[in-house]
Amino acid sequence: MKTEELLKTDHLIDTKKLVINIMLCAGKATTMMNEALKPYEISMQQFNVLRILRGQKGKPANLSTIQDRMVNKMSNTTRLVDKLIKKNLVDRCICEENRRKVEIVITGEGLNLLKTLDPIVDQLEENFSQHINKKELIQLNETLEKLRN
Amino acid sequence: MKTEELLKTDHLIDTKKLVINIMLCAGKATTMMNEALKPYEISMQQFNVLRILRGQKGKPANLSTIQDRMVNKMSNTTRLVDKLIKKNLVDRCICEENRRKVEIVITGEGLNLLKTLDPIVDQLEENFSQHINKKELIQLNETLEKLRN
DNA sequence: ATTAAATAAATGTTAAAAAAATAAATTTGA
DNA sequence: TCAAATTTATTTTTTTAACATTTATTTAAT
């Protein structure tokens, strides 16, 4: 094999490793998250929707806004919100300015649940990155952000 | 707030960012992968099982081996293998030494499919990391491996 | 004003995944 | 040896996701 080809092969191995590493890390984070949330009978996705709504600071969000901000864009956000409504964690009403749209807000109960979950999730996130130091953490975020482009 | 607390808050923000970045990157890779595999009517998970089996180099693998090596450990590997059998990509028979176990091997057809898919996936993986340079790639892999512990 | 096109969300259907329960074969240990 | 425990895989049930279709509303064009 020519040197050039060797370099190419070598690079390919590293990119393959990268994809696997990313997947494994994401899998680990997801598992940790779901296990932590399980006692509260809430899925990671539901939790994320609640956080998005809290981020609105009282301002209602419509379905497409939520969908845009979700990590795993899935088609049936309607039903995800349905479940949160059933648990009394969010409210929904039709938007009066544009009656096609729907306005979703987090309830007091939803905010309380988040308040309970916050320290648990914070701790979990700290644990997740416990094996790397501050410098590596910052560097890692920078590089990962480049990958997202 | 005391300096110590500020530092803690600051660190927390970075760890939160990390979890989100990992999720988004994994989501991107998954989407790219599934789209590339779609024309071949094979899911990413099925593809990974095939690669695990090829890695066995003829030696049969049993279900728990496959499960251990899978990125997204899911409980119904049986079903996943069923689908591959239906497509004639793998074979399964019960292990004679220990009749609880099952022996799974990739078929010639399965190997051929992988041969077709290999360059497509290679290209995709290269594309995935196109925005970072070699040094960043290597550094990234090293740090991600620490996270997996 | 009326119709067509576009937008936003909901619904129905089908497929896939996760979780839990069950079944079969093997080990262990009295 | 034989019941209890363990391992390995399957089956069943429940949840979740993906895809296509439908409904309601608004915007734009004639």
Min Cα separation B86/chain A (Å): 27
Residue A74's pLDDT is what?
Answer: 66
CA of B94 to C1' of D3 (A): 27
Which pLDDT score is estimated for B144? 97
In degrees and rounded to multiples of 5, residue A129 shows phi and psi of -105, 20
Q: Rounded to the nearest 5 degrees, what angle is found at the Cα of B89, between the Cα atoms of B97 and B96?
A: 10
Q: Which two tokens stand for residue B79?
A: 């079903």
A76 touches strand D (CB under 7 A): yes
Q: Per-domain residue ranges for chain B?
A: 3-147
In A, which residues are within 8 Å of B9 by CB distance? none
Q: Is the pLDDT of residue B4 over 90?
A: no
pLDDT tens digits for range B27-80: 999 989 998 998 999 999 999 999 999 999 999 999 999 998 987 776 789 999
State whether CATH 1.10.10.10 applies to domain B3-147: yes
At A149 the pLDDT is: 81
Q: Which amino acid, A16? A: K
- In this prediction, residues B81-105 reach a mean pLDDT of 95
Q: Which value, to the nearest 10 degrees, does the dihedral of the CA atoms of residues B27, B30, B36, B41 take?
A: -130
Task: Give the per-residue pLDDT at B113.
Answer: 97
Over 90: is that where the pLDDT of A89 sits?
Answer: yes
The answer to whether the Cα torsion of B71, B73, B74, B78 is positive or negative is: positive
A36-52 pLDDT, tens per residue? 999 999 999 999 999 99
CA A81 – CA A119 distance, rounded (Å):
24
Say if A111 is an interface residue toward chain B (CB within 8 Å): no
Task: Quick: pLDDT tens for B95-115.
Answer: 999 999 999 999 999 999 999
- pLDDT at residue A56 tops 70: yes
Q: Which protein residue lies nearest to nucleotide C27, measured between its Cα and the C1' atom?
A: B98
CA of A6 to C1' of C14 (A): 47
Least confident of A72-86, B1-15, B59-73: B1-15
- Of chain B residues 2-61, which have a beta carbon within 7 Å of strand D? none
Per-residue pLDDT band for B8 (boundaries 50, 70, 90) equals: confident
Other Cβ atoms closer than 10 A to A96: 8
**Partner residues linked to A106 by β-bridges:** A90
Phi, psi angle pair for B90, to nearest 5°: -140, 160
